Structure 1
């Protein structure tokens, strides 16, 4: 064993540090003694050093089993920077040529290589097993060890095969390292690696410099742009669940003047590596990524981590947010939450084996609980990892900064505990809640629990109330959730004590994300500047006389309302106003932005940030496809049918297209379905008589008996397209 003083000298010599972080020194001493070691250390705690330093001190080569090629390259480059000899660290994986592989093997056999990084897949190859049998192995280190567990957030079946392969190559001390593991996952890792007797070194999961916040998912792209515009030059990572969303969001950020790049497993390796390097070298500020990005990315000054989509598990969330503020500086973690996303994730699970579905659902429920609960975020997170947080107010999460209303919960807690006991601790929280509120669903009926005296005994409250009570009883330790049986509820010793002697207990109401609906009104009249609105109407009136066009052909009222809310002062910004588009902005917009700009200047108006959000394209793929079908003169009813739409929906799409300034020619279809006189009457009405483009006004004027609403809408499309665009 190395002496304490020697360890400090080695640390200084190899890495230039004067002191160890946390329990690094104890971990390294344990490895040097030849003991099996389990290291649970949050991101930024200095896990890598725990195997790097002993590998440099001990004779032989340490085998580091690691899941990602990008991670290995990163680690090998870092080790080579600390040494004069490139042979000191190598990786062995599918990205290497035969010549490179031979060089690696030569350096290992020559005793130059102290650390060899291998992917589990490479470890299983027969030729590699045979080669490693010849090597003097100092110890094995399994990095990102949570990948072993089906209960972890990143389960990889190939990790399950590590133990038998190590046994085949030859026994040496074993290390397992992870930045995130619940007690269940930790046990799973130790059991699978055959290291239940290992010394366990567990650091606190508390990251006091991180600020946790959950926001309702309403206009998330706008929110993200606002946040990034207010933090110019700061490094950020935005996580999305799908590759498609990664591409779309990165593009949206770029057109809004934010330096952003995408990263996901569907991109070719060289582009991925290029984008990752650009982020590390500060050539780009923001990476929009799937969870493929970030494992082992050692960038200390990431200031913002956002989740566009809520993650599949709290472990995943903790791991990803842990990439913020690794230098101890500011780190903001913002997640956008909508229960619809959870339902989507549940749908994706269908078709998987039942046990996997059960595990997935349990992990999702924990995420829902975290998002919807209004108790301290830090308390919830640390409880999940088996750690107690005793502070009343962490002051660094949205729930502590803006506390929710409290209620007296003594009677409710007693009722929940009694119900769990009455039903022999054999049910999950949703079943207990359905009994309390009297929800007569299939599961309740099948157990005949609808005939029990407790059925409906808590119906004075809704399911949200009972959810809040159960969640907070779990965090307070009255109830234990048995993860092995997919979430059955049991009463703890503390819970039994509370039942014997109940006392006053205050709890907070959950967040109600269901009531926050997406705002579909495009104009946003709430903040309309009425002076500007009337000035814009006057301008439109003058322009309509000058061009001999009805005012609504130039811009509709909702578009003027939006201009009076968001104050666009350039043609580019005007294009982003609902119902404007590129064509109209270029044709009619010059005078409008000029008027708005002078109004803003004269009145010293602080323009809202929302305005700067530009969409990537004014026409969706659907719109482009419709326009192409019209160019081929396909009948409109056939276009609707081919797109799986009702005719009414297709007409709406066409209205949206022409009102945004794009010209379409549907004469071929109108001529087929409409009498020439009817077409001309409607066209004349819009050109000469109409004061508004409203269909109701047209029907009143033209007569409902002679003209159908669909005919009027089709001719209005023709009219706007020909006259306005």
Structure 2
């Protein structure tokens, strides 16, 4: 198949003028009956790599996807573009399931989405062997690997499906895979000399920010208040914390909801659908709120607790800004949290698994504690080496201010020693700042020589100093003994004044954050808001997520170019022939009416 018809289908069905990097290469490999492994970031256009050849082929493409919600969103988007697609799952009644199977058998269906569990059922495999299947696409393929962070047994068995369908090309797709995971996917799926396409892992529209975790609930609530109704996700390490934070945000008047595996299925589904349909602005969640989020206009992702690997962090932050518009990824980082995670990993009985997880978490810690461009650290982990700083992370936008911290370090180290190396950071800070607390007095610590030595500086300042001393290896935080601070041998030369120590001013207030829903200034914001409202009314009437009608980047483009006829509307990215027929007229009318109202004062002047 030549590039011309591929481009024609791309424009007419998907409404795109050009392929993104790598898409055409992968599609042509599939059309040559070759296996493929596709590594593209979230929002990078992975799904098009199997959707477009499916549309052009004669048979059915089987897509293996982990969650019903993800299948449904993709099917709704395809159907809105006039593509014959369906998802086979237990949420359908027997008659609906039978109808889909008959359509797939007759060649009337172009794409059929199923779970890995269904794909591995014997009766289903026997049906596949009788159908005209042209391709098997496996989404979220990192789940196949034993090193993938969302390992699921049925994914690991998909190699057996390959044995049952040896003549078919298989395509594995994922947003995150290090070298070990990549090799594992190829081996477990029995991919034969696959075309391996690795796109850049860089998501330049995402601003990466790390803030010292000081008063985390206040920090989070202040940050979300600045977002003015933008869509966002807050990830937490425990179900209890999810429930607490979601309730706090609701009390603040935020349209927020919690999501975790301890909730009933119907309740989780209600939250997911409400979020996707823009009825809920902020979801506070555990990692259970994961791969099923097909929502392009998430403007921010906050990690309230540090993730266990860079893969998890990348996958979760990648849910922001899938429409290509500016977004933020904020991590609240506390070395104490890191210590707890290390202790949990060390409790794992499997030695090999423990070593891999410790390696992955060490890399995540390095990202949180970096004093150089965050994006370079992130890309380096995925073996994408660059020298030029990104200019769009907290380190680049607001470089750490260094100062001679020798005296501050000596005060902290001396205080840790004076309290017997038996207390945590908060108690050490209380002594330094001269607290009159009852506990401190009962211990007689107001008599120590370090009492009140740091009264001229804030608690946040001293916490920042302590954390840097931990990072530098001068102090350890003993997690097995309630987080008590203890000196290492490296503290001695600093205490004796033999070496000077340069420290960074602590970061506590997200000063670099510019929380705008869209950061570009070249579009008509009033028109954009009106088009969003129109889109929401249409989506609600059709019981669809708003992005199925048009995503935010398409509306932004309309608010730049003001299309007022069918020809100009077709030049807007994301407007194909079917969507033009379904929605074009009403959006053209809205834009025309807006322009007429804008020009009316001129006619009367």
| TM more than 0.5 | yes
Shift >4 Å, 4+ stretches:
436-439, 456-462, 508-513
Match for residue 281 of structure 2 among 270, 273, 285: 285
Which runs of structure 2 are paired with 1:535-614 in the superposition (5 Å)? Answer: none
Partner of 2:590: none
Partner of 1:72: 71
Which runs of structure 2 are paired with 1:297-376 in the superposition (5 Å)? Answer: 297-349=293-345, 350-376=347-373
Distance (Å, rounded) in 2 between the aligned partners of 1:111 and 1:275: 36
State the Cα distance separating 1:132 from its structure 2 match. 1.6
Residue deviations 1:83-104 (CA, integer Å, cap 9, x gap): 26xxx22223343433332122
Residue deviations 1:44-97 (CA, integer Å, cap 9, x gap): 11111111111111121111111122211111222222226xxx2222334343
Partner of 2:386: 389
Partner of 1:183: 179
State the Cα distance separating 1:512 from its structure 2 match. 9.7
Partner of 1:505: none
> SS state of the match for residue 375, structure 1?
coil
TM-score, scaled relative to structure 2: 0.65
User: Given the superposition, is the C-alpha separation of residues 49 and 376 from structure 1 closer, same or farther in structure 2, using an over 3 Å criterion?
Assistant: same
Contact 1:94–1:122, Cα closer than 8 Å, also in 2: no
Contact 1:374–1:509, Cα closer than 8 Å, also in 2: no
Distance (Å, rounded) in 2 between the aligned partners of 1:457 and 1:209: 41
Partner of 1:219: 215
Larger Rg: 1
State the Cα distance separating 1:316 from its structure 2 match. 0.7
Contact 2:88–2:114, Cα closer than 8 Å, also in 1: yes
Which runs of structure 2 are paired with 1:153-302 in the superposition (5 Å)? Answer: 153-195=149-191, 197-302=193-298
State the Cα distance separating 1:461 from its structure 2 match. 7.9
Contact 1:209–1:330, Cα closer than 8 Å, also in 2: yes
> SS state of the match for residue 149, structure 2?
coil
| 1:19 and 2:18 correspond | yes
User: Given the superposition, is the C-alpha separation of residues 18 and 296 from structure 1 closer, same or farther in structure 2, using an over 3 Å criterion?
Assistant: farther
Match for residue 403 of structure 1 among 396, 399, 402: 399
State the Cα distance separating 1:177 from its structure 2 match. 0.6
Contact 2:162–2:190, Cα closer than 8 Å, also in 1: no
Contact 1:120–1:159, Cα closer than 8 Å, also in 2: yes
State the Cα distance separating 1:379 from its structure 2 match. 0.6
TM-score, scaled relative to structure 1: 0.55
Contact 2:402–2:503, Cα closer than 8 Å, also in 1: no
Contact 1:65–1:141, Cα closer than 8 Å, also in 2: yes
Partner of 2:62: 63
Structure 2 unaligned segments of length 5 or more: list them: 404-471, 476-488, 496-500, 509-605
Residue deviations 1:126-180 (CA, integer Å, cap 9, x gap): 2212222211110111111111223222222321110122212443001111111
Contact 1:64–1:142, Cα closer than 8 Å, also in 2: yes
Residue deviations 1:632-670 (CA, integer Å, cap 9, x gap): xxxxxxxxxxxxxxxxxxxxxxxxxxxxxxxxxxxxxxx
Contact 2:35–2:192, Cα closer than 8 Å, also in 1: no
| 1:141 and 2:134 correspond | no
Distance (Å, rounded) in 1 between the aligned partners of 2:333 and 2:305: 7
> SS state of the match for residue 157, structure 2?
helix
Say which structure, 1 or 2, has more relative contact order (CA 8 Å, 6+ apart).
Answer: 2
Partner of 2:117: 121
Contact 1:308–1:336, Cα closer than 8 Å, also in 2: yes
State the Cα distance separating 1:377 from its structure 2 match. 0.4
State the Cα distance separating 1:267 from its structure 2 match. 2.2
Distance (Å, rounded) in 1 between the aligned partners of 2:17 and 2:473: 61
Residue deviations 1:413-436 (CA, integer Å, cap 9, x gap): xxxxxxxxxxxxxxxxxxxxxxx9
User: Given the superposition, is the C-alpha separation of residues 406 and 56 from structure 1 closer, same or farther in structure 2, using an over 3 Å criterion?
Assistant: same
Partner of 1:718: none
Contact 2:13–2:81, Cα closer than 8 Å, also in 1: yes
Structure 1 unaligned segments of length 5 or more: list them: 408-435, 440-455, 463-507, 517-725
Distance (Å, rounded) in 1 between the aligned partners of 2:217 and 2:174: 33
Partner of 2:426: none
Distance (Å, rounded) in 1 between the aligned partners of 2:54 and 2:376: 37
Residue deviations 1:517-542 (CA, integer Å, cap 9, x gap): xxxxxxxxxxxxxxxxxxxxxxxxxx
Aligned length: 424
State the Cα distance separating 1:300 from its structure 2 match. 2.1
Contact 1:372–1:511, Cα closer than 8 Å, also in 2: no
The root-mean-square deviation of aligned C-alpha atoms, in Å, is 2.9
User: Given the superposition, is the C-alpha separation of residues 170 and 405 from structure 1 closer, same or farther in structure 2, using an over 3 Å criterion?
Assistant: same
